[in-house]
Amino acid sequence: MWKLPYYRTVRRQGEAEIVIKRSQFIGHAKPVESEEEAVAFIEEIKQRHKQATHNCSAYIVGERDQHQKASDDGEPSGTAGKPILEVIKNQKLKNVAVVVTRYFGGILLGAGGLVRAYTDGAVAGLEAAGTVYKVLHTPVTLTFDYPLLGMLEYELRGRGILIGSMEYTDKVTVRCLPNESESARFIEWITDLTAGQTEIRVDDSEYLEHDQLPSNFL
C-alpha cells in the first residue's frame, strides 16, 4: 500500500479553554489513525461534556485526506464544524480530530462571531496538542564482522543515518532507519561500501516522529 513520505499531525491529545462574551469554548485535539478512532474520540468528549450546549467537531483522516467530516452539533449551519475543519486544513494537518465544546454564557454571538469563536477554539486545542512531523522510514538491519565496525560507524554517522539500535554478539548488528525514499540507494551504498560483506535485512516501513522536517524534504 502506498504511503506518504511524510505528513504533519498533532503530537498528543491536548485541550485549551477560551472565553468569548461569557461563553466558554474548550478546544480538544487528538492524533487519530482511522475514522473509527476519530469518531470514538468525538464521542468520548461528548460524554465528558454532556452538559455542554454544543460539542462541534471535525476530522481529517487518510493518506489522501479521504475521510473528512464536520459537525455543527446544533449550531447554525456552517458556523462551527466547517470553521474547525478549515483550521485543520489551513495548518496542513492529517490524521487529526478536533472537538470544540461550548458552554453558552447568555450572549448571542451571531453567525460571524460563532465562526470566529469556533476557529479560535480549534486553534487553541491544536496549539495545546502540539505538532509533529511523521516521516516514513525503512528499517534496514546490517549484520557484519567486527573489523568493519569502525569504518561503518564513521560512514553511517557522517551520512546522517538515523540508528535505532546496535547489538554486539559474535557479530555486530546495527538497525538503521533511512528515509523510505532513500532506502534503495542506502542499501546499494552499504553493499558497495562493504564489498558485499554485510548481511542486510529490510523490514516494513514505519512512521517516526520528527520535530522538524528533515532537510532532504525542504
For residue 217, the model assigns a pLDDT of 64
**Apex CA 35: angle with CA 14 and CA 57, to 5°?**
50
Q: Which fold has domain 139-202?
A: Alpha-Beta Plaits (3.30.70)
Encode pLDDT of 145-158 as tens digits: 999 999 999 999 99
Contact by Cβ (8 Å): 176, 193? no
Classify domain 6-130 at the CATH topology level.
Ribosomal Protein S5; domain 2 (3.30.230)
User: Is this prediction's pTM over 0.75?
Assistant: yes
Write the pLDDT tens digit of every residue in 5-38.
999 999 999 999 999 999 999 999 999 999 999 9
The C-alpha cell at 102 is 461550548
| In the chain, where the domains are located | 6-130, 139-202
